[in-house]
């Protein structure tokens, strides 16, 4: 089987369908399990060498270009385009920045885009109403509720209202359950983990059989990253704030996903030489010399990590742009499914 | 908060509600994270010492006794008892043995029990029909489909028909999703993982922060065990047939759950001295001296393991009886919920 997704006619996108990845657990052949090729970048690097930078921005641009082509084809063929709606509550600066990125990306690829902005003080009912309207709106194929919501709003309750067919973030428990269970396939895979896997595949990093360590167990990144790496047959460990000796566990990783939301948590000494590092953290830190008075750094101490890792995603320009590209891809899939367009 | 489950008025059952376990991931305090008490049985044992045997049979008896008392109280109070139904397809000897155990357990605690036996050659539709009948039957509060089903029947399709409120095995993707997601609580926790945690709690084994390794990633034991241990704040790794060097990973475990279904896979050399070992394997091996010509052994080489582990479940008499006790507990919960009985 090739690596091209069946949904990706002409699309530059490598993740194979999950179900196709399911393999029988044949323990008898464990010692004979041979990989089709040696991992090309899991080489031990000397301290003076520098890790390869995994360029998420250019990968995302490539994916967006092919999505734009698909959108044109759809428009010409059936006169419709995919539609994404965002529900944004309150004034969090980071949430507004994320939504701005998503809006721009939608325009870039020719999606219809709609936003419902609600004040911090709004009620759960008002959020549900906005959501229900988008659920019913046939021109909207994907809906995302920008998280986190204000504390007085029950996230779980809101996500339960979201139509499963439009859950392009993949956070509905039924989607997460189907991501966890071998033999099943969720309608949508959460965007950040999907972007991480896509970067690994594009970088020819072997996943099956390798040790992967996910740092952080959030419902939106850490947990689904664990589940997805597991479906790709990595041997996965999940480290969280209560883990004893997290650095020792991290050092076992061939593939490290840092998603704790703690700036520079992962030091060079946390890495196995030659590890592949995906830095999901996007942490603003004050920087008077920057245009806006702050700049973004990751969960990984980049300067230290490039001396030990074999490959690493930068922040910004690594996992972030891929998350947005995967959101577009999920929305395109949702639209194709809803409109019966192949 | 105490360790008694709120559902367990008078019930001898230790697992706290999952949601109560959710903790904020405060990384800043990681180095200061102090455990309320030292783990009482994580002591390094010399080669001549012998592990403590975790007696699953007597724990299960204790739980069943308190379930029987609850059933009497329910019968006296509202004139009803919990009802469990099993769908059994084909003639697999192991499946028939498991179902026989469940039948006996139901009789022991005073549950109503019903079984639909279908021939190996039955159609998917016939299984779905039997399931639908039990879905509608108000005297049945829990339904389980004895797995595995014959190959021509799509397990996923069958489980989708099962009423979520009666899914006492906890295998529905929505239950698995809610088991995975922090802040949510599944209606039912799969019986074997639930039994494992119950044994750990009863044995005063600390889980939070400890390294747990689950060997095997089946949908019915390995995967939900990972998810449940994670909700209890262990640092969990999952090892499967494609894992490289499984014995090295196993040796990192403070708590080892062996659920590969491979007799004696886990040797003494796979264990960290002082590890707590839960052996989920139930493998029949030929034994001309046994009454039935075979006897059951686990996934762990017991004779070797007792020299290195600090505590271990035997096979039989360890996790097996607890699985049945947890099934009864889930069915009791289902009945209480359906009948509004507290």
How close, in Å, is residue B230 to chain A by CA atoms? Answer: 8
Burial of residue B289, with CB atoms counted within 10 A of its CB: 0-12 exposed, 13-18 middle, 19 or more buried: exposed
pLDDT, residue B45, reads: 43
Place of tokens 């919920």: B337
For residue range A298-315, list pLDDT tens digits in order. Answer: 999 999 999 999 999 999
pLDDT, residue A70, reads: 97
Pair of tokens at residue A10:
């002409």
- Name the average pLDDT for chain A: 91
Residue B32 sits at the chain A interface (C-beta within 8 Å): no
Please name the residues between 157 and 216 in chain A that touch chain B, using a CB distance below 8 Å: 172-178, 180-184, 208-211, 216
Element of type H or E holding A85: strand A83-89
Give the residue with greater pLDDT, A206 vs B32. A206
Give the residue with greater pLDDT, A93 vs B214. B214
How close, in Å, is residue B10 to chain A by CA atoms? Answer: 31
Nearest to B334 by CA among B106, B142, B132: B142
- The residues of B annotated as belonging to the active site are 102, 146, 169
Q: What are phi and psi of A114, to 5 degrees?
A: -135, 145
Asked whether the beta carbons of residue B208 and residue A238 sit closer than 8 angstroms, the reply is no
Asked whether the beta carbons of residue A244 and residue B216 sit closer than 8 angstroms, the reply is no
Asked whether the beta carbons of residue A177 and residue B182 sit closer than 8 angstroms, the reply is no
**A23-32, A55-64, B143-152: range with lowest mean pLDDT:** A23-32
CA B56 from centre of chain: 11
Q: How far apart are CA A233 and CA A13, in angstroms?
A: 20
Burial of residue A20, with CB atoms counted within 10 A of its CB: 0-12 exposed, 13-18 middle, 19 or more buried: exposed
Nearest to A277 by CA among A266, A289, A286: A266
Mean pLDDT of B108-131: 97
Give the residue with greater pLDDT, B23 vs A256. A256
For residue range B67-113, list pLDDT tens digits in order. Answer: 999 999 999 999 999 999 999 999 998 899 999 999 999 999 999 99
For residue range B153-192, list pLDDT tens digits in order. Answer: 999 899 899 999 999 999 999 999 999 999 999 999 999 9
Residue A237 sits at the chain B interface (C-beta within 8 Å): yes
Question: Does ipTM top 0.95?
Answer: no
Residue A246 sits at the chain B interface (C-beta within 8 Å): yes
For residue range B221-277, list pLDDT tens digits in order. Answer: 999 999 999 999 999 999 999 999 999 999 999 999 999 999 999 999 999 999 999
Mean pLDDT of A163-190: 96
Confidence of residue B36 (pLDDT cuts 50, 70, 90): very low
Q: Give long-range contacts, CB 8 A cutoff, 24+ apart: B56-59.
A: B56/B195, B56/B199, B56/B313, B56/B314, B56/B317, B56/B318, B56/B319, B56/B320, B56/B321, B56/B322, B57/B317, B57/B318, B57/B321, B59/B198, B59/B199, B59/B202, B59/B321, B59/B322, B59/B325
pLDDT, residue A41, reads: 34
Residue A272 sits at the chain B interface (C-beta within 8 Å): no
Asked whether the beta carbons of residue B223 and residue A182 sit closer than 8 angstroms, the reply is yes
For residue range A234-248, list pLDDT tens digits in order. Answer: 999 999 999 999 999
Beta strands in A164-319 (DSSP E): 211-215, 235-239, 255-258, 276-279, 283-286, 294-297, 311-312
Cβ pair A320, A278 in contact under 8 A: no
pLDDT, residue B31, reads: 47
Give yes or no for residue B21 having a pLDDT over 70.
Answer: yes
pTM for this model (two decimals): 0.91
Q: How far apart are CA A92 and CA A179, in angstroms?
A: 30
Asked whether the beta carbons of residue B173 and residue A172 sit closer than 8 angstroms, the reply is no
- Which residues in chain A have Cβ-Cβ distances shorter than 8 Å to B244? 33, 209-211, 235
For residue range A110-140, list pLDDT tens digits in order. Answer: 999 999 999 999 999 999 999 999 999 999 9
Confidence of residue A48 (pLDDT cuts 50, 70, 90): low
Give yes or no for residue A38 having a pLDDT over 70.
Answer: no
């Amino acid at each position: 089987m090739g690596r091209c997704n069946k949904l990706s006619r002409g699309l530059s996108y490598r993740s194979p369908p999950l179900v196709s990845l399911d393999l029988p657990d044949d323990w008898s052949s464990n010692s004979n399990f041979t990989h089709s090729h040696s991992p090309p970048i899991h080489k031990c690097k000397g301290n003076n060498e520098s890790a390869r930078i995994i360029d998420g921005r250019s990968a995302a641009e490539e994916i967006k270009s092919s999505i734009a082509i698909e959108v044109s084809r759809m428009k010409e063929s059936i006169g419709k385009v995919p539609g994404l709606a965002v529900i944004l509550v309150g004034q969090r600066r980071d949430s507004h920045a994320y939504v701005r990125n998503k809006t721009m990306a939608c325009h870039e690829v020719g999606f219809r885009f709609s936003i419902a902005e609600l004040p911090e003080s709004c009620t759960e009912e008002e959020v549900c109403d906005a959501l229900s309207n988008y659920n019913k709106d046939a021109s909207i194929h994907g809906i995302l509720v920008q998280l986190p919501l204000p504390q007085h709003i029950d996230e779980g309750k809101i996500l339960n209202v979201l139509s499963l067919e439009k859950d392009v973030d993949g956070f509905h428990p039924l989607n997460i359950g189907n991501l966890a269970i071998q033999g099943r396939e969720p309608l949508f895979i959460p965007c950040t983990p999907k972007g991480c896997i896509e970067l690994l595949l594009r970088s020819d990093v072997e996943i099956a059989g390798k040790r992967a360590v996910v740092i952080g167990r959030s419902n939106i990144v850490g947990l689904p990253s664990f589940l997805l790496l597991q479906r790709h047959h990595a041997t996965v460990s999940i480290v969280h704030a209560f883990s004893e000796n997290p650095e020792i566990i991290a050092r076992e990783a061939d593939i490290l996903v840092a998603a704790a939301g703690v700036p520079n948590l992962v030091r060079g000494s946390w890495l196995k030489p030659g590890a592949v590092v995906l830095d999901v953290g996007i942490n603003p830190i004050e920087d008077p010399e920057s245009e806006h008075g702050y700049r973004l750094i990751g969960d990984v101490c980049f300067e230290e990590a490039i001396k030990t890792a074999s490959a690493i995603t930068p922040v910004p320009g690594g996992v972030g742009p891929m998350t947005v590209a995967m959101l577009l891809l999920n929305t395109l899939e949702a639209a194709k499914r809803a409109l019966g367009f192949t």
